[in-house]
């Protein structure tokens, strides 16, 4: 028997049965004793277009039943290396966004005091700001790999400083991001002015528009990103709308011309070897994809994030 928690196998319990946890892993109430934890944040009160991301964590967990413990492509064996569990959802206040932000930070403060790496199931992108606040308390300013159709650096939305389109402006202003260590990949679509992405560039962010990714492998890009990040602590934030809606339609603010699913995998796999201290997968909105395929994309990317965490062993 392994000393590490194991996902419930499909030959022990049919995949449509068993616990409704991420990868049908054991659950526990806190992060005590864990190297990594899957955490849901069922929130959509900061969205600006189609809602529904409050249902994202539940459907991601459901679709994760297809995932098996060993990564055949990269040879990563996370469940032979790390103690992992699903510690449930953050109990947000669904009627009050600022209170929810504080609740999230306090929850992650507790997770991080156990030296546990959080892997977050979203939920909309507002949630990344309170997580980064907690991460920065422990690790200092972090490098950021941000995959998204949108830069999420609005100064405000309807006069509000915190919403799903503002987290990275607030994070930069609050000193949560390491200087020269931010990469945004997949930005695209229409805007209000030609300068919409220039604020990011002015802060020293590397901006890689989706058009620069078309028809190419992103493995060379990730070689450059690894060199750029060096050994600083790194956070990965993956908005599912970074992928093209042809493969991930279940989200609130879709933009055509996005990344392929294979490019999404290349980005996450290309982060192997970095000092990753946290990850999230956000903006899955189940009502807009009854097939569940968007949630399956999200679940798979979260598993791939687990596979690139420090300390994961690889098979021969």
Confidence (pLDDT) at 196: 82
pLDDT in tens, 32-41: 999 999 999 9
Whether the full predicted model's pTM is greater than 0.85, yes or no, is yes
Confidence (pLDDT) at 315: 85
Residue with tokens 């970074």: 242
Confidence (pLDDT) at 195: 82
* 1 band by pLDDT with thresholds 50, 70 and 90: low
pLDDT in tens, 219-236: 999 999 999 999 999 999
* 316 band by pLDDT with thresholds 50, 70 and 90: confident
pLDDT averaged over the chain? 96
Residue with tokens 């600083």: 232
Helices 293-307, 261-269: crossing angle, 10 deg rounding = 20
86: nearest Cα among 238, 293, 306: 306
Confidence (pLDDT) at 175: 98
- Nearest-angstrom CA–CA distance, 10 and 276: 30
In the predicted structure, residue 283 carries a pLDDT above the cut 90: yes
pLDDT in tens, 238-277: 999 999 999 999 999 999 999 999 999 999 999 999 999 9
Confidence (pLDDT) at 197: 87
The sheet carrying 142-147 orders its strands as 84-89, 36-41, 117-122, 275-282, 233-239, 142-147, 177-187, 206-209
Residue 179: its H or E element: strand 177-187
Confidence (pLDDT) at 193: 85
């Amino acid at each position: 028997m392994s000393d590490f928690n194991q996902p419930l196998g499909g030959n022990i319990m049919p995949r449509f049965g068993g616990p409704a946890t991420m990868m049908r892993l054991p659950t526990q109430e806190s992060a005590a004793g864990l190297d990594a934890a899957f955490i849901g944040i069922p929130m959509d009160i900061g969205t600006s277009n189609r809602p529904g991301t409050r249902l994202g964590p539940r459907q991601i967990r459901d679709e994760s039943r297809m995932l098996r413990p060993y990564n055949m492509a990269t040879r990563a064996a996370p469940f032979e290396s790390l103690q992992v569990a699903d510690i449930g959802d953050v109990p947000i206040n669904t009627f009050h966004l600022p209170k929810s932000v504080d609740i999230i930070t306090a929850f992650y403060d507790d997770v991080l005091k156990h030296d546990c790496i959080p892997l977050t199931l979203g939920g909309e992108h507002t949630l990344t700001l309170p997580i980064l606040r907690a991460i920065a308390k422990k690790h200092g300013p972090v490098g950021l790999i941000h995959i998204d159709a949108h830069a999420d650096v609005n100064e405000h939305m309807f006069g509000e400083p915190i919403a799903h389109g503002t987290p990275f402006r607030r994070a930069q202003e609050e000193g949560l991001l390491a200087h020269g260590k931010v990469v945004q990949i997949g930005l695209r679509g229409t805007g209000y002015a030609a300068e919409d992405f220039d604020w990011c560039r002015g802060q020293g962010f590397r901006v890689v528009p989706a058009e620069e990714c078309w028809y190419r492998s992103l493995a060379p890009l990730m070689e450059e990103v690894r060199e750029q990040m060096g050994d600083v602590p790194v956070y990965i934030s993956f908005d599912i709308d970074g992928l093209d809606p042809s493969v991930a339609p279940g989200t609130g603010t879709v933009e055509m011309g996005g990344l392929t699913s294979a490019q999404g995998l290349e980005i996450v796999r290309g982060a192997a070897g970095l000092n990753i201290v946290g990850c999230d997968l956000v903006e899955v909105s189940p009502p807009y994809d009854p097939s569940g395929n968007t949630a399956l994309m999200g679940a798979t990317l979260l598993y791939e994030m687990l596979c690139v965490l420090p300390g994961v062993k690889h098979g021969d």
